[in-house]
Amino acid sequence: MPNELIQLPQSELLEYLRRQVDKMAELEQKIAGLEQDREELLRVACNVDSRLREYEEIKEGWDWFFANSLDMLIVHGLDGRLLRVNPAVERLLGYTPEEFMRLPLEDSAHPDDLADVLTHLRTIAEGTDGVNFEARTRHKDGRYRWLAWTTPAPTKDGRAMTHTYAIARDVTESRLTQQELLYRAQHDALTGLANRAAFDHEVGLALARAERLASPVSLLLIDLDGFKQVNDTLGHLAGDDVLRTVAARLRAASRKGDLVARLGGDEFACLTTGPSRAALDALAVRMLNVVCEPVAVGDVRAQVGCSIGIATADGDFDPVRLFAAADRAMYGVKARGKGDVAHAAAPA
């Protein structure tokens, strides 16, 4: 103890010692608090390290998935601007991610699909729900590929949406398969003309339009004359050649907007809307003449003719009655010697 403290009166010395004890107690309390804070900070630091490792693992997993996904993955802003594109874009569309991100939407989307794509983008920006659609996107080689786009619905966590995600998968092959199946369902396999089912459907639509617009609809039934003889003498393969040639000639002789079909066997039909009686007669004569032209089949020339019956409907004339009237007119031609054209009587 310093000499000056020894010389203090006992009462002052005791007061001094009491103050020192109080200071020591306060200091010990602060040290204990700091030790507690230190332990808490260590626990927080350990927790932060653990969360950082967890986030890093999640990010590594996402980065791996983003880089290796077979589907095209896109992150884009609400204004449609691309923020990130994964490498799958090069496999699907031939562009590097950097090239695709610089490509204006007007240059990448098919012109016929652009309006729909813009509508979908606006829907995505509103963030109300997920969006699924298919659209054509231009490949780097100039062709278009069908892509199926999926944009998941935004999460409902209360945060303001700043960007969205899109997944694209190439569905070109399935689209082509669907188109091929649809084509086969509507076209005759031998001639490529519309088949009976497709033709009947179009006749119904044309008659409905005729009733609404007061525009006449005419049906030409075309039955070949002498075709059985071609089959019997030259064989069915030669007969198929004749049918294909006749089909091409009838299509070439028809007017723009007319529908030519093969109804089956050696029977064809043509649906035409709005022609005058003179134009209708000219069409029938053209068809009659082109069918009568010889058809080269190997080293021989086959020849067939045709009989044409025409029925015209104004207003509400149903398909069954229209076909029946044209059929009667066509068989009337056959009964009179074939190779001619006849109009059915106007329906009552």
Q: Which two tokens stand for residue 257?
A: 């907007």
Number of H helices, E strands in the chain: 12, 12
DSSP state of 296: E
Residue 133 Cα to chain centre, angstroms: 7
DSSP state of 339: S
Rg, Å, the chain Cα set = 42
User: Would you call 145 helix, strand, or coil by DSSP?
Assistant: strand
Q: Please state, in angstroms and rounded to a whole number, the distance separating the CA atoms of residues 301 and 183.
A: 32
Catalytic residue (one of 188, 223, 241, 266)? 266
Give me the residues paired with residue 312 across strands: 218
CB atoms within 10 A of CB 244: 17
Alpha-helix residue ranges (DSSP H) falling in the chain? 3-6, 10-68, 88-93, 97-102, 105-108, 114-126, 172-186, 196-213, 227-234, 236-253, 277-292, 319-335
Per the CB < 8 A criterion, the answer to whether 347 and 317 are in contact is: yes
Per the CB < 8 A criterion, the answer to whether 75 and 165 are in contact is: yes
For 76, half-sphere exposure in the C-beta direction (CA atoms, 13 angstrom radius) is 23
Q: Which residues of 119-128 are buried (b: 16+ CB within 10 A; e: fewer)?
A: ebbeebeeee
Give long-range contacts, CB 8 A cutoff, 24+ apart: 285-288: 285/341, 286/253, 287/220, 287/222, 287/249, 287/250, 287/253, 287/254, 288/339, 288/340, 288/341
CB atoms within 10 A of CB 224: 21
170 classed as catalytic = no
Return the active site residues.
266
